[in-house]
Chain A
Amino acid sequence: VGSDDAADRPIVQQAKPRAGLFRKYAVLFAALVGGALLASGATQLWFSYQENKAALIAVQREKALAAAAVIEQFVKQIENQIGWVTQAAYVGSAAISEQRRSDFLRLLRQAPAITEVAHIDASAKEQLRVSRLSMDVLGSQADFAADPRFIGARTTGAYASPIYFRMESEPYMSVAIAAQRRQAGVVVAEVNLKLIWDVISRIKVGKAGHAYAVDSRGLLIAHPDIGLVLRKTDLSRLEQVAAAKSGTGAGGASAQMSSGVRDIEGHPVLTTHAEIASLGWYVFVQQPLSEAFEPLYASLLRTSLLLVIGLALAIFASLLLARRMVGPIKALQTGAAWIGAGEFTRRIEVRTGDEFEELAQQFNRMAGQLAELDRLGRLRRFLSPQVADLIVASGGVDLLESHRSEITVVFCDLRGFTAFAETAEPEEVMRVLREYHAALGALIFRYEGTLERFLGDGLMVLFNDPIPCPDPAARAVRMAVAMREQVADLSGKWRTHGHDLGFGVGIAQGYATLGRIGFEGRFDYGSVGSVSNLGARLCAEALAGQVLISRPVQTAVESIAECESVGELVLKGFHRPVATYSVLRLKP
C-alpha cells in the first residue's frame, strides 16, 4: 500500500548564489542613483564654473576699464593743465617771455609730473624752456620745424609722443599742445610717467591683484612695483600683451582666460585689459588665478562635497533597498526549500506591504494546497482515480478521519493458488498475479470501489466509503460478476499452461468503523467490524466460480441479479448460521 517517501527526496540546498542577487541589486541601485547624481552634479559643476568664470571676467573687465579711465584721466589732466598755459593771452612784447615763464613755473608747481616745458613759436623756433632740473633757457631759437612734437600738435591740436626712457630708466612722454590762436605756437612738455605710480598703485584688484599699463610696443609704463618700470621692462612677449596688441577686443576690453596666461614672474593669472585708444596704451588688471578662482574653487568644492555625500547616501540606500528586495526573496527561497523537503506545514512571513507580501501569501496558500495534495496523494493509493478526484473536488480530506458507516465489502481470491505458488516457478507466479491484478484492478476502478487492501491473490474492496454511493450492494455484485467472467477467461488461458486456478468471491453488507490505521510514516485506510469478517468468511466458503452474498446484499440486488439460496452456513466467528446466497447471473 502507500508509502511516504518524502524523507527520501533530496532537500534543495544548492551552492549559495544568493550573495550575487544582493550585490547585483545593490550595484544596480547605486549605479542608477549615483549615475543620476553624478550627471546632475557634473552639469551643475560645469555651469557653475562657466557662470563664475563669466562673472569674474565681467568684474575684471570693469576694473580694467576703470583703471584705464584713471590713467587716461591722469594724462588728460596734464594735457588740460598745459592747455591752460597755451590759452593765456599775453600783452606787451618785452614782458611776454617773463609772463610766460611765470606761467610755466606755475604749471610745474601744479603738475608734478611735468619735468620740463617749452614754448615753440609759430615759426617753429623755441622761445622759452623752463625745467625743474636744468636752467631755464630763453630764446634759444632751436628749430622744431621737423620735430614730430611740433608737427603733431600743429596737425591734431594735441600730440602725445611715444614713450621714451631718460637715462634708460625713467619713462617719459612728450605732450605738445597747440594754442588755439595759430600764431601763439605750441607748448611742449616732458612728462615723467613715473608719477602714474601714484594712481596705479592705488588700484586694488582683490588681495594680490594689481593693474599695470604698457605702451603700444609692450614697454611697461606703470606698475605698482616702480622698479619694474625703471628697469624698462619689455612685456611684449607676454601672451596677454601680444593678444591685446594684435587687436583682440580692440576698442574695448577683452579677457584671456586660457590657463596658459602668466604674469612677468610666470605665475598663472586671470587678466583682462582695456585699451586707452587716445594714447595707444593698454591697461591690464590681473589677479593670481588661485585668488581669482577662490570663490569658484569654493563652489566647486561645495558641489563635489554634495556629490560625495549624495553618492554615500545613494550607496547606503541601495544596500537598504537591495536588502529589502532580497530579504523576501530569501524567505521565499527558504519556503521553497521547506516544500522541497516535504514540510508543507511551515509558512513564510513577509511583511513588506507590497507585491512581495502578496507573493509570500500566495506562496503560503500554495504550500497549503500542496499539503492537501500530499494528503490526497495518499488517498489515491486506496481509492479509485474517480473517487480520489471526487474527494479532491469536494475537498473532503476529513474522510480519512475515523468514522462509522454502512459499507459493502467484497472479498475475493483464487482457489488452488497456494498449491500453484508452491509448485510453479516464482516468475510464473508473478506473471499470473500481474494478469490477475491488472484485470481486477481495472474493474475496481470502473465500479468505483475502494481497494482496501490486497495480499497475494486476496483482495478486499469497499463500497459506500469513503465516498457514499446510492447502490453499494448492486455495484459490488456487478463488479463481482464481471470479475468472475474476467477470471474465467484468464483461467482458460492459465489452464493451457497447466495451472488449475478457480475464483471465489464473498460479499457482505453492514456497519463498520473506518479510518486511518497504522503509524506515522505508514498509514492505511482500514475498516473494523464484523461485516469485513463476514465478507472474508463467505469468500472462504465460496467454491471456484461462486459469488456468495449475505442476506442484506441479496435483498438489495434482488432486482438486478438472479440468486439462489445455498442455505444457512455455520461460519467461524459467527455463533448463528448465516443465510447465504449465490449469485447466478445478472438480470438482463
Chain B
Amino acid sequence: MKRRDFIIVLGAVAVGWPLAARAQQPARPHRIFWVSTESQPDPFVDGFREGLRERGYVEGRNFILELRYAPGDPDALRSVISELTRANVALAVSSGPAIRAMKAATDVPVLFAVSGDPVELGIVGSLARPGGNFTGSTFLSLEVAGKRIELLKDAFPHLRTLAVLSNTDHPGERSEWRATQDAARSLGIDPIYVPFVGARELENALAAAGQARADAMLVFPDGVTMVHRAKLAQFAIARRLPSMFGWREYCDAGGLLSYGANQRTAYVRLANYADRILRGEKPANLPVERPTKFELVINLKTAKSLGIEIPPSILLRADEVIE
C-alpha cells in the first residue's frame, strides 16, 4: 500500500518494547554462599555454575560464589549462619547435609538439595508451597531405598546377606534403614546394619562390615559416605563385595552399582531457582522440585576386577555403563 510506505518514509516510530535483559547487570554482583559438606573438587558446585551460565550469568560480574566447605561435618558449618546475617548475601545454596546447619538461617533465601524429605526436616511447609525462606530439590532417596535392594537382588540372585553402611547422623536415616530392612526381608535377604556416626567412626564401620561375611554391601547416600566414596569403593573391591550406592558419583569413584536421581542435573536446575530468587521471587512460592529420572549406573571395570558377571537384563536397564 503506497500510503503506508509513505507514512513509513515520513518516519513512523516503530513501537518496540525493549526486551528486559534476561540476566541483570547489577552495579554490584550478587553474593551467593555455597555451603557444602562435600569435598573439593565438587561436581555439584560445577553443575550449579553451569546452570547459572546457561541463564546468562557471568561469575565475578553478576555473581560471586563464596564457598564454605566442611567435608563430612555439617556442624562445622554453624558459623556460616552468623556470617550470612552479617554479610550482604543475596542467596545461600546448601548442598546435601549442610542443610542441618543452614536450617537456622531465617532471613536469607536458602536453596537446598537434600536426599530426604524436606517436610520431615521442617524446612518447608509442603512440597507445593514451601512457605518460608527455603526451597530447592529433593532426591527421593528414601523412596528408592527398596529399589536399590531389588536391583542388587536382580543382579545377584543368590544374594542372602547384605551389609548396610549408614551414617546415623544423616537426617531421615531411621526411615531409610526401616525401608531398606522391609525391602530386604521381602526379597529374602538378611540385612546387616553397620551404623556409624560421622567420618571419625567410618574406619570402625568398615572393619565391622568386613567381618559381617555379607554377600554384598549397600551404602546409604550421605555427605560422609560421599566424601569418602573412593575409600568405600576400594574397600568393597578389596573385600570382593558387590556394592550398591545412591548416586552415580560413587560409581565414578569405583562403586559397582548406583541407583538414584542425577544430582548434578538437580544442581543445574537449582540455578533456575537461584535466577528467579535473584530477580525478586520469594522461595516461599517456588515448589520443591522432585526428580523424574532415576538412573542406574554400572561400573564394569569394578565388575571385572571383582570377577563377576552382570546379567544382561540388568545391563539392558542401565542408564550408563562405565567401562
Chain A residues near B (Cβ < 8 Å): 102, 105-106, 109, 112-113, 115, 131-136, 165, 167-170, 192, 194-195, 207, 226-227, 230-232, 290-291, 294, 297-298, 301-303, 305-306, 309
CA–CA, A507 and B143, complex, Å: 158
Task: Give the distance to chain B from A151, nearest Cβ to Cβ, in Å.
Answer: 29
- Enumerate chain B residues within 8 angstroms of A105, measured Cβ to Cβ: 313, 316-317
B3 on interface, CB distance cutoff 8 Å:
yes
Task: Give the distance to chain B from A108, nearest Cβ to Cβ, in Å.
Answer: 8
Residue-wise interface mask of B (284-310) relative to A, using a CB-CB cutoff of 8 A (1 in contact, 0 not): 011111101110000000000000000
- When C-beta atoms are compared, the residue in chain A nearest to B186 turns out to be A135
Task: Give the distance to chain A from B127, nearest Cβ to Cβ, in Å.
Answer: 4
Stretch in B9-17, B37-45, B69-77, B239-247 with 4+ CB within 8 Å of A: B9-17
- Enumerate chain A residues within 8 angstroms of B146, measured Cβ to Cβ: 134-135
Inter-chain contact B15/A297, CB cutoff 8 Å: yes
B150 on interface, CB distance cutoff 8 Å:
yes
CA–CA, A169 and B289, complex, Å: 9
- Enumerate chain A residues within 8 angstroms of B53, measured Cβ to Cβ: none
Of A135, A232, A290, the contact of B149 (CB 8 Å cutoff)? A135
- Enumerate chain A residues within 8 angstroms of B183, measured Cβ to Cβ: 135
12 further interface pairs, Cβ-Cβ under 8 Å (given A115-B292, A168-B127): A131-B147, A132-B147, A132-B294, A194-B292, A195-B292, A230-B288, A231-B128, A231-B287, A294-B17, A302-B12, A305-B12, A309-B10
Residue-wise interface mask of B (100-115) relative to A, using a CB-CB cutoff of 8 A (1 in contact, 0 not): 0000000000000000
- Enumerate chain B residues within 8 angstroms of A192, measured Cβ to Cβ: 292
Inter-chain contact B149/A102, CB cutoff 8 Å: no
CA–CA, A297 and B150, complex, Å: 63
Inter-chain contact A135/B147, CB cutoff 8 Å: yes
CA–CA, A232 and B317, complex, Å: 33
B7 on interface, CB distance cutoff 8 Å:
yes
Q: Contacts A132-B294, A134-B143: A169 and B128 contacting too (C-beta < 8 A)?
A: yes
CA–CA, A230 and B13, complex, Å: 43
What is the total of A-B residue contacts with beta carbons within 8 Å?
Answer: 89
CA–CA, A541 and B196, complex, Å: 178
- When C-beta atoms are compared, the residue in chain B nearest to A170 turns out to be B290
Inter-chain contact A294/B7, CB cutoff 8 Å: no
- 6 A-B contact pairs sorted by A residue (CB < 8 Å): A132-B294, A133-B140, A135-B186, A192-B292, A231-B128, A301-B13
Task: Give the distance to chain A from B197, nearest Cβ to Cβ, in Å.
Answer: 29
CA–CA, A13 and B3, complex, Å: 50
Inter-chain contact A112/B285, CB cutoff 8 Å: no
Task: Give the distance to chain A from B306, nearest Cβ to Cβ, in Å.
Answer: 24
- When C-beta atoms are compared, the residue in chain A nearest to B317 turns out to be A105
Of B7, B127, B292, the contact of A306 (CB 8 Å cutoff)? B7
CA–CA, A194 and B8, complex, Å: 47
Chain B residues near A (Cβ < 8 Å): 3-4, 6-8, 10, 12-17, 19, 126-129, 140, 143-144, 146-147, 149-150, 183, 186-187, 285-290, 292-294, 313, 316-317
Task: Give the distance to chain A from B110, nearest Cβ to Cβ, in Å.
Answer: 17
- When C-beta atoms are compared, the residue in chain B nearest to A137 turns out to be B186
- Enumerate chain B residues within 8 angstroms of A305, measured Cβ to Cβ: 7, 10, 12
Task: Give the distance to chain B from A341, nearest Cβ to Cβ, in Å.
Answer: 52
Of A131, A227, A290, A309, the contact of B287 (CB 8 Å cutoff)? A227
- Enumerate chain A residues within 8 angstroms of B8, measured Cβ to Cβ: 302
Inter-chain contact B287/A230, CB cutoff 8 Å: yes
Of A106, A109, A112, A309, the contact of B292 (CB 8 Å cutoff)? A112
CA–CA, A294 and B129, complex, Å: 36
Q: Contacts A169-B126, A305-B7: A227 and B292 contacting too (C-beta < 8 A)?
A: no
CA–CA, A226 and B135, complex, Å: 14
- Enumerate chain B residues within 8 angstroms of A136, measured Cβ to Cβ: 150
- Enumerate chain A residues within 8 angstroms of B150, measured Cβ to Cβ: 135-136
Of A133, A227, A232, A298, the contact of B15 (CB 8 Å cutoff)? A298
Of B3, B147, B186, B187, the contact of A133 (CB 8 Å cutoff)? B147
CA–CA, A520 and B6, complex, Å: 69
Of A109, A115, A134, the contact of B317 (CB 8 Å cutoff)? A109
Q: Contacts A102-B313, A168-B126: A298 and B12 contacting too (C-beta < 8 A)?
A: yes
- When C-beta atoms are compared, the residue in chain B nearest to A165 turns out to be B128
Task: Give the distance to chain A from B26, nearest Cβ to Cβ, in Å.
Answer: 22
CA–CA, A290 and B15, complex, Å: 10
- When C-beta atoms are compared, the residue in chain B nearest to A106 turns out to be B316
Q: Contacts A169-B128, A227-B286, A305-B10: A133 and B144 contacting too (C-beta < 8 A)?
A: yes
CA–CA, A39 and B313, complex, Å: 79
Inter-chain contact B290/A169, CB cutoff 8 Å: yes
Task: Give the distance to chain B from A301, nearest Cβ to Cβ, in Å.
Answer: 6
CA–CA, A102 and B16, complex, Å: 57
Inter-chain contact B127/A112, CB cutoff 8 Å: no
- Enumerate chain B residues within 8 angstroms of A133, measured Cβ to Cβ: 140, 143-144, 147, 294
Of A134, A232, A309, the contact of B128 (CB 8 Å cutoff)? A232
- Enumerate chain B residues within 8 angstroms of A135, measured Cβ to Cβ: 146-147, 149-150, 183, 186-187
CA–CA, A169 and B117, complex, Å: 14
Interface centre among B7, B126, B288, by most A CB within 10 Å?
Answer: B7
- When C-beta atoms are compared, the residue in chain A nearest to B20 turns out to be A208
- Enumerate chain B residues within 8 angstroms of A303, measured Cβ to Cβ: 7
- The 8 lowest CB-CB distance pairs between A and B, nearest first, are A230-B287, A135-B146, A169-B128, A169-B127, A302-B12, A302-B7, A133-B143, A135-B150
Inter-chain contact A112/B7, CB cutoff 8 Å: no
- Enumerate chain B residues within 8 angstroms of A194, measured Cβ to Cβ: 292
CA–CA, A171 and B6, complex, Å: 54
- Enumerate chain A residues within 8 angstroms of B187, measured Cβ to Cβ: 135
Task: Give the distance to chain B from A267, nearest Cβ to Cβ, in Å.
Answer: 13
Inter-chain contact A231/B10, CB cutoff 8 Å: no
- When C-beta atoms are compared, the residue in chain A nearest to B153 turns out to be A135
Task: Give the distance to chain B from A291, nearest Cβ to Cβ, in Å.
Answer: 7
Task: Give the distance to chain A from B292, nearest Cβ to Cβ, in Å.
Answer: 6
- Enumerate chain B residues within 8 angstroms of A232, measured Cβ to Cβ: 128
- When C-beta atoms are compared, the residue in chain A nearest to B135 turns out to be A227
- Enumerate chain B residues within 8 angstroms of A301, measured Cβ to Cβ: 12-13, 15
Task: Give the distance to chain B from A326, nearest Cβ to Cβ, in Å.
Answer: 31
- Enumerate chain B residues within 8 angstroms of A113, measured Cβ to Cβ: 292
- When C-beta atoms are compared, the residue in chain A nearest to B126 turns out to be A168
CA–CA, A306 and B292, complex, Å: 57
Task: Give the distance to chain A from B11, nearest Cβ to Cβ, in Å.
Answer: 8
CA–CA, A305 and B4, complex, Å: 11
Task: Give the distance to chain A from B246, nearest Cβ to Cβ, in Å.
Answer: 14
Q: Contacts A135-B150, A135-B183: A230 and B289 contacting too (C-beta < 8 A)?
A: yes
Of B6, B12, B129, the contact of A231 (CB 8 Å cutoff)? B129
Task: Give the distance to chain A from B321, nearest Cβ to Cβ, in Å.
Answer: 14
Task: Give the distance to chain B from A244, nearest Cβ to Cβ, in Å.
Answer: 24
CA–CA, A305 and B14, complex, Å: 12
Inter-chain contact B126/A134, CB cutoff 8 Å: no
Task: Give the distance to chain B from A37, nearest Cβ to Cβ, in Å.
Answer: 12
CA–CA, A301 and B14, complex, Å: 9
Task: Give the distance to chain A from B79, nearest Cβ to Cβ, in Å.
Answer: 32
Interface centre among B16, B144, B150, B292, by most A CB within 10 Å?
Answer: B292
